[in-house]
Structure 1
Amino acid sequence: METESPTLLSTDVNFHFFSTLISGAVAGAIVDVALFPIDTVKTRLQSENGFWRSGGFKGIYKGLAPAAAGSAPTAALFFCTYEGCKKYLSSVTGQTNSPYVHMVSASFAEVVACIIRVPVEIAKQRRQALVHKVDKTALQILWTAYKTEGVRRGLYRGFGTTICREIPFSLIQFPLWEFLKLNWSSFTGLPLTPVSVAICGAIAGGISAAATTPLDVAKTRIMLADEASGRKLGMTRVLKLVYKEKGFGGLISGIVPRVMWITLGGAIFFGFYDLTSRILKFENT
């Protein structure tokens, strides 16, 4: 009986890692740059100052630089962790397409990705919402946050809230995306292509975005708060304050651009991820 040599197995593992890294980076960068104006509108709608006082439709691309710089490594780190964790858990449990494997893998990947995502989000959203009277660059914003508030309260303010938003989002999105992909051919009678993967990503992203909008509102408020207010804010406290100020409408502020952004983003992200993976796999054969 023939067996694969350790060298071949190592090559396959290395290529899979490389393919996941590149595919995730390409997909993340394309989405964040292409759909940035929608993200800006969403952030300004959720700001405590309100949409118009936060800039309205002016300077719609403010914050693009940190978003563009951080999107590729964040997405690459997420997908490498997700695919690696999924592969490991599948081998341990013997269940390749278990939704529980997808949930655990996505949750763990979100925590790891937030190491890069949170500082990027702070710089991006503070520029989007025109928090500073002086037009500071992303690096200046992060340096000021570090000098005045330190690492945990400055650079990583809202880390816990971001994870509390991302994990429920991923618990819905990734099992749903994997389920739709797995059953695409039986549902539609069509082969699974990058376009169909994109459609599955759009559906999964839109549903997840709508369900987690209140958590996104809390995360945005905490990241945009000044130093004194930021020390006192937690997710539950923010949600109570928003509800007291604006009622249920405040809790879902920005839901339309958020759902639009993530639906389109899901289509582009997962579509380009699948397409890039196929191209790299084809070139490796």
Structure 2
Amino acid sequence: MMIIVMDAMETMDKPLSTMSAYKSNKPDFPLLPKIINGGIAGIIGVTCVFPIDLVKTRLQSQSIKPNEIPQYKSMADCFRKTFAKEGFFGMYRGSAVNILLITPEKAIKLTANDFFRHRFSDRSGKITLHREMIAGSLAGLCQIVITTPMELLKIQLQDAGRVQTSGLQERPSATRIALSLIRSKGIFGLYRGTAATMFRDVTFSAIYFPMFANLNKLGPKTTYSNNGSDSETVFWASFLAGCVSGGIAAAAVNPIDVIKTRLQTLKRAEHEQHYSGIRDAFIRIWRDEGIKAFFKGAGCRVMVIAPLFGIAQTVYYLGVAEYLMKKFRLASDNYSHNDYKQQKQQTTKKLRMTENLSKV
């Protein structure tokens, strides 16, 4: 593992002046469109799947001891009870703060992965599997600066209906919770559960991004050159690759997501415990609830993450940001998604010419 990390660090440490040959055969890295696409993908995805995410949070937050009747017996039961008690808008508790912060969070995650893949790839633009995993891990690490406070505030709002015993209690707001934490613990109060969040996001990204990239290569292609030599995976195949990769990665990290949710839940029910850290949470959950507790909400989480990342890849494929930038004249030299495709096509032709000359 150390060899892999050192190999990647050597690539990152190369000064730009010595990397001209390294970069010359690769397409440029258009940063702004990637940031905008990431934000758009996050907003659309969260709006579509937020009620399922709320159910996931409530299932994970409730701790059930032996011979104890759970408040929510299943995903369907949680949906039914939440909707009956809190109505349609109750299913979107915490969505405002999530939609607000998901834009920079998804933009950082998706853009950082593309950036690190760009830096770690060779002259022809190819990248090895271990470098794909490092690029994904670094992307996950970058996003926690936004993810941790976003998840902390979202969880308090989502779980409020579960722990409230009276309908007369004042509903919390993200602003009130944030100000209370800052007054009592400073800015770091918003970063409760950072270690667990980092563990989850780094692991998720190390699984998701390489898996998506390789599944995407297997899909049918659409050509954008006369001889058919230059191609791109079709839209629906990229969507499915995003869904499958997101679902598998989400299921794999569900145990640490349960621990993270418990650590970040500030207000627990009367019979529920508070945890001092990852180790304490793991031991107590295992001892009191068994191994099944670590897979609470796994189905919901897969149902949330799979379409979320499928949508993200769709937005990238369609080049929504490139279209908007061209529409409102924000792109320099009328840069568009088609320009990027043509750039990739020209790069491929140059590489083939170089390979043919080397064989002569």
Instruction: Settle same-fold status: TM greater than 0.5.
Output: yes
Structure 2, gaps ≥5 residues long: 1-23, 64-69, 222-230, 324-335, 343-360
Aligned to 2:192: 157
Aligned partners of 1:128, 1:68: CA distance in 2, in Å?
A: 14
Instruction: Measure how far apart 1:60 and its partner are.
Output: 1.1
Selected match of 2:243 from 186, 198, 202: 202
Selected match of 1:146 from 169, 182, 187: 182
Aligned partners of 2:175, 2:28: CA distance in 1, in Å?
A: 36
Aligned to 2:313: 270
Aligned pairs for 1:1-285 within 5 A: 13=28, 16-48=30-62, 52=72, 56-57=82-83, 58=86, 59-91=90-122, 96-130=126-160, 133-152=169-188, 154-185=189-220, 192-226=233-267, 233-276=276-319, 279=323, 280-282=336-338
Secondary structure, counterpart of 1:35 in structure 2: helix
Aligned partners of 2:112, 2:305: CA distance in 1, in Å?
A: 21
- In the superposition, the TM-score normalised over structure 2's length comes to 0.68
Change (3 A) 1:206 1:51: farther
Secondary structure, counterpart of 2:91 in structure 1: coil
* Residues 30-39 or 73-82, more deviating: 73-82
Aligned partners of 1:265, 1:124: CA distance in 2, in Å?
A: 17
For the Cα contact (< 8 Å) 1:111–1:163, is it kept in 2?
yes
Structure 1, gaps ≥5 residues long: 1-8
Aligned length: 268
For the Cα contact (< 8 Å) 2:152–2:190, is it kept in 1?
yes
Instruction: Measure how far apart 1:275 and its partner are.
Output: 1.7
Counterpart amino acid of 2:38? G
* Residues 18-27 or 273-282, more deviating: 273-282
For the Cα contact (< 8 Å) 1:199–1:267, is it kept in 2?
yes
| Bigger CA radius of gyration | 2
- In the superposition, the TM-score normalised over structure 1's length comes to 0.84
Structure number with higher helix proportion: 1
Aligned partners of 2:251, 2:265: CA distance in 1, in Å?
A: 22
Instruction: Measure how far apart 1:248 and its partner are.
Output: 1.6
Counterpart amino acid of 1:138? A
For the Cα contact (< 8 Å) 1:78–1:113, is it kept in 2?
yes
